[in-house]
Amino acid sequence: MIGRRSAPLLAVTGLAVCVAMAHMKHVIASEAKQSRTLGGNPEPTLTVVFSGEMKGYLSPCGCSKPMLGGIARRGAVLKRLARRGPVIAIENGDLTQADGRQDELKAETLADALSAMNYDAIGVGEKDLALGEEFLATLQDRSAPKWLCANVRDASGKSPFAAATRVRRKIGATSRDVLIVSAMAAGRSAEGFTIGDPLAALRRITDRAPIRILLIQGRRQEAEAIARAVPRFALVVYAHGPDTPAPPIRIGKATLVCAGSSGKHLGTATLDVKGAVRRVGSIALGENAGTDAGIEAIRRAYQDRVASENLLDMLPRSPLPSGVTFAGSTACRSCHEAAHAVWGASGHAKAMATLRKVGQDRDPECVPCHAVGVAKEGGYLDRGTALGHVGCENCHGPSGRHVADVAVKPDRSGPKSCAECHVPNHSPGFRYETYWSRIRH
């Protein structure tokens, strides 16, 4: 069973929210009745799968359940949806954080993975533009989905992306053309590119395909304004929304949706054969989503590239004060046997093993929270397995002098020592008091 949350469409019109919601419920109930044929079979529909702002999260990341996300889970869900009926798959930009070589590898990996998952279109985001025009050209060459943005121009004044793409799906016995368009909201900027007026760019698109979808790189308020000014689209997918799926909003005949960020959820919209949005939902990419072996192989190949390019060894490291050294957790055992036993029974003592299991033990984005002193000279990168896992010195600081002289006391630790790794995005359920009670020593 796929974890799913669905919601009826909400109509928000001025101050008459309650009246509008009651009317919308009536409309949906009427549509539900009309969606049955005389023989009692469901009316054929099209499923649009949407998401955005993946930010480079190829794998679920976190130390508290539920750990959501990952492209291999996404691939498994899309395969199941495709077996049930026609699917349109779209990704709304900012595939990575565009921060150096590792994000270039991620972008190439996502281009391959989205192609393998039969994605139809990618709306270009500001972070994507930060990868540079030359690199983006290579991504487009290796991608099956069309990269779209109607109002971006390069330094020569040319558009490096298509404004729209048209695809065809068979919905029941009827073939329907689906137009997918993308634009950036006004006020965005990117070095080497000019972002034009989105309204002017969208009004130049005259294609009247029966089903029309718009991707907006912008916040909800900006998407609302565009939907009102250019009322041609049944489904409007916006970015820069909340981390989790946002409630859908009805603006005229358009339904505005956002699936959250970091690749943790997939949004779904059910459209009828005429292109009207019947229902909006979301699928949480948890453990029960399954794993697509082909997409997992693409992810593993990325990890192999990260390891082969030695990106972990290139992490910047700061020197320790003179005479300060790391000792390793084993050195603490002789004097702190009870505390060492508590640590040994905790998840901290297995932190590197969890990375090795998924092939991420050479990943510079992961290892710093799974080993001791990665960002310091004399830490894990110098001493390897001796400082593997989350050890005593993650909390108490380098303790070589304390081991040599017990009169030199280490730090007492506390909530601050947890904060670097137990961030909301990776450890959403973290509460210091609750977690400390599990490892109290």
Query: 374 pLDDT exceeds 70?
Result: yes
pLDDT, one tens digit per residue, over 187-204 is: 888 899 999 999 999 999
pLDDT, one tens digit per residue, over 292-345 is: 999 999 999 999 999 999 999 999 999 999 999 999 999 999 999 999 999 999
> What is the percentage of the chain residues whose pLDDT exceeds 70?
90
CATH number of 4-301: 3.60.21.10
pTM listed for this prediction: 0.88
Is the domain covering 315-439 a CATH 1.10.1130.10 domain?
Answer: yes
What's the average model confidence in pLDDT over 145-171? 97
Domain range summary for the chain, segments of one domain joined by +? 4-301, 315-439
pLDDT, one tens digit per residue, over 116-136 is: 999 999 999 999 999 999 999
Query: 74 pLDDT exceeds 50?
Result: yes
pLDDT recorded at residue 425: 78
pLDDT, one tens digit per residue, over 11-49 is: 433 433 343 334 334 333 333 333 333 344 679 999 999
pLDDT recorded at residue 64: 67
pLDDT recorded at residue 441: 84
Query: 62 pLDDT exceeds 90?
Result: no
3-state DSSP of the chain: CCCEEEECCEECCCCCHHHHHHHHHHHHHHHHHHCECCCCCECCCEEEEEEECCCCCCCCCCCCCCCCCCHHHHHHHHHHHHHHCCEEEEEECCCCCCCCHHHHHHHHHHHHHHHHCCCCEEECCHHHHCCCHHHHHHHHHHCCCEEECCCEEECCCCCCCECEEEEEEEECCEEEEEEEEEEECCCCCECCEEECCHHHHHHCCCCCCCEEEEEEECCHHHHHHHHHHCCCCCEEEECCCCCCCCCCEEECCEEEECCCCCCCEEEEEEECCCCCEEEEEEEECCHHHCCCHHHHHHHHHHHHHHHHCCCHHHCCCECCCCCCCCCCHHHHCCCCHHHHHHHHCCHHHHHHHHHHHCCCCCCCCCHHHCECCCCECCCHHHHHHHHECCCHHHHHCCCHHHHHCCCCCCCCCCHHHHHCCCCCCCCCCCCHHHHHHHHCC
What's the average model confidence in pLDDT over 270-289? 96
What's the average model confidence in pLDDT over 205-209? 93
> What is the percentage of the chain residues whose pLDDT exceeds 90?
78
pLDDT recorded at residue 322: 94
